[in-house]
Amino acid sequence: MIKKISIKWFLWFSLVSGYAIILGAFLYFNMFKHTYDAELQDQVIDTVRRSAGVLIDGLTKRPSVVTVAENDAIRLWSDIDARILNVVYFNANGTVRWHRDMNLIGQTLPDYDKSGYLETDAVFEAFRTKRHRVVMKNDGMAYEIAIPLKVKGDVVAGVISIDISREQVKQRINTALMYYIVGAAVIFALMGFILYMFVIRNVTAPIIYLTDSIDNISTKTLQMDFVERNDEIGALAAALEHFLTKVKRELEEREVLDKQRHNYEEEWWSYVLAIAIPKGSRAIVVDENNNIMHTNFELPVKNDGPVHLLDIFGGTQQEIVQIVGQAMDSPGKIYRAKTQSGGKPFLIKTMQIKSQGGIVRTIIVLEPDAGENKGRNKTNKE
């Protein structure tokens, strides 16, 4: 039984644990993604913000040509952060102010877009909303972050567009997710072992002990051998013991009632037979088990327990046994036959009475055969 419960426990716990780990992995993956991506974006924005003074100063003093300070600041970004893939610097009118490819400097934003260099609408949105715009590109491997440079009056003086790689972020996400899965698996394994030992000790073993106690209950005593416990199984055992006590009490009461009913019925049959059976005839009443309940004569057989019909009519009086069997096969019908008992002829009448309440009684009456006795007397006189 413990093996069967162990297998079921392992399967159910594995399914629940697997479901919890998968659901948790999905939630944690999105949490890691949000956290690490937000960190990456903030780092890029902070890098541009630290150089914002130099860039805005150049935009206001020399609107058409990038300054040396601006050029040095932009190149420094790529030198200190290998994740930066590309930087494009736009003037307030949308022309390219700085680009690694010198041939693209001075192109208007629409022409730059038509040439296929703008893969997202981040730059257009930064100009339109005056807020930084972040768009994922390259199948999730990079971000394009467009950051507006604003002067007094919330006027956009220029826009910095930076392509930043997400490869490091994805590696961090995958590493964190792997740590989560391993940690969750270890935790669930420890929890499973502890819970399994708890279930075996506090649930399975007591149930097995209770089952054995129930199997060993004797129908004579109706008592259960079980150690008291202050838990649900102990309450169940106590309820079962209380039930057995009630059953035992009811059986004892029924046994007393059966004895009283038997005495009442014997008394009743004695009156009936005294009135209905002629003098000199013998009458026997048997129950559903063919045990003799009452007779109007003294039985030749004395037993400590019930006296069976066959104890009186053995194999030497087959006529009686046969006619009684016929009466039992057809309740409510009277059967007659002739036989001899003690060297004297008798007429046999028998009938089985069956009530709707399930009470079955068979009446057997043996009357002396007057005709046979007259014939014998006449023969003796001659």
- Between the CA atoms of 309, 314, 317 and 322, what dihedral angle is there, to the nearest 10 degrees? 50
pLDDT for the residue 105: 93
Judge: domain 2-172, CATH 3.30.450.20: yes
- For residue 90, the SS3 value is strand
Cα-Cα-Cα-Cα dihedral of 35, 36, 37, 38, to 10°? 50
Predicted pLDDT at 198: 80
Two structure tokens written together for 136 = 């994922």
CATH 3.30.450.20 residue spans of the chain: 2-172, 277-381
pLDDT score for 354: 82
For the cut 80, the answer to whether the pLDDT of residue 154 exceeds it is yes
Side chain identity at 70, as an amino acid letter? E
The mean of the pLDDT values for the chain is 84
* pLDDT tens digits along 23-75: 888 888 888 888 888 999 999 999 999 999 999 999 998 888 899 999 999 99
What are 283's strand-pairing partners? 365
Sheet of strand 292-295: strand arrangement: 292-295, 282-286, 360-368, 344-354, 335-341
Q: Residue 224 corresponds to which tokens in the numbers above?
A: 């259960």
Domain 277-381 - what CATH class? alpha beta
Of the candidates 170, 197, 266, 253, the one whose C-alpha atom is nearest the C-alpha of residue 5 is 197
What does pTM read for this prediction?
A: 0.53
What number is the average pLDDT over the span 291-314? 77
pLDDT in the model for residue 26? 85
Please report where in the chains the tokens 């930084």 appear, as a residue: 132
Tell me the Cα Rg of the chain: 54
> Mind listing the pLDDT tens digit for each residue in 165-222?
999 988 988 898 898 888 888 888 888 888 878 877 777 778 888 888 888 887 777 8
Which pLDDT score is estimated for 1?
A: 61
Residue 305 pLDDT > 70, yes or no? yes
The arithmetic mean of pLDDT across residues 305-329, rounded, is: 76
| DSSP 8-class letter at 278 | P
Greatest mean pLDDT among 13-27, 31-45, 214-228, 302-316: 31-45
d(CA 354, CA 244): 33
Q: What percent of the chain has pLDDT over 70?
A: 93
